[in-house]
Amino acid sequence: MSLQVVTPSHAPDFPSFARLHRSVIEHTDPMVRHIVAVPDRDVPLFRSVDTGRLDVIGYRAVLPRRFVSTIPLARIPGLPRGFRINAVNATRPWPPIRGWMLQQLVKLAVVSTLEADVALLIDSDVLIVRPLVESTFRDKAGVVRLYRSPHGITPAMTRHLAWQAAARALLGTSKVEPDSPDYISAFASWDPELVRASTSRVAETTSRDWRDVIGSRLDFSEFIFYGTYVMTLADARYRTNTQQRSLCHSHWDPTPLDLEHADRFLDRLHPDDVAVHIQSNSLTDENVLRHIAERMRSGS
């Protein structure tokens, strides 16, 4: 039985990641490794975190050589301004691979290589505030906890609906979950064995490398992909530990927190929550983030 923490990150998130890593060290058993996957240019920066429990993995270590970095180009003329390109598949250069898409590919690739029983995926803008133990994420039968929010996707959530459709297409299944669940979380546990099974399914249904297939998608969510596989194609025994709470108290609002609102946010922390999440897009000031970390460390 074993637990490993996996975080995708990059240089702009380094201060937040360093804070997250300190909280992982503080709240996990010394045997727990923290794996961070970053663009290759950022590897030296993240390796400067010298705790003895951090494994830094560059993208090239888990992606095929045919995935060629285009980071110096930043963007390709003719594409929408917000369409940030990070790589091109040399064997099928169109469409190019966006940075957000590449990060999801890397996340699946890293977890698929793990021999651990539980992979805990944690974003850089999360802070662990209570002990993390493997038993929290596995039931007595050994089934890994799956965050699943029934009716979490409404007809108005067009991007989420596109991600649902993409997951079904990639997995080659027509099964539609009637309660339209959402699986997306900044803090989620996956079973590496099921990640391997889900990506193998893509390869079987398309007769292509799953990384090429998923990398060519414009619409994709790794969390919805994994959850859809578990709930529609995996053995039924893997569906016995679905939970509606993520165990992470999140601030998803793009409005930044000030000190007063940060304290109010922390006052609403559920007794079962083991982490807090302040979305980086909220642009919450660094002083407020430090205040949150210090308050949680002091237990006040």
**Residue 127 pairs with which residues in a beta bridge?**
276
The CA-based diameter of the chain, rounded to the nearest angstrom, is 55
pLDDT attached to residue 71: 67
pLDDT attached to residue 27: 93
pLDDT attached to residue 93: 66
- How is the chain split into domains, by residue range? 3-64+100-248
Strand extents, DSSP E, the chain:
3-8, 33-38, 54-58, 67-69, 85-89, 97-98, 118-122, 126-128, 146-147, 187-190, 242-243, 248-251, 275-278
pLDDT attached to residue 102: 86
CB contact set of 156 (below 8 Å; sequence gap of 6+): none
Predicted TM-score (pTM) of this structure: 0.90
DSSP 145: P
Give the tokens for residue 210.
């799953």
pLDDT attached to residue 11: 92
- pLDDT-flagged residues of the chain (< 70): 1, 71-85, 89-90, 93, 299-300
Give the tokens for residue 187.
């803090």
DSSP 155: T
How many Cα atoms are found within 13 Å in the side-chain-facing hemisphere of 93? 5
Helix or strand holding residue 251 (H, E): strand 248-251
CA angle at 108 for the pair 70 and 30, rounded to the nearest 5°: 110
Cα 231 to Cα 12, 124, 175, 255, 282: the distances in Å are 35, 27, 10, 34, 32
pLDDT attached to residue 58: 94
3-64+100-248: which CATH number, 2.60.40, 3.30.70, 2.60.120, 3.90.550?
A: 3.90.550
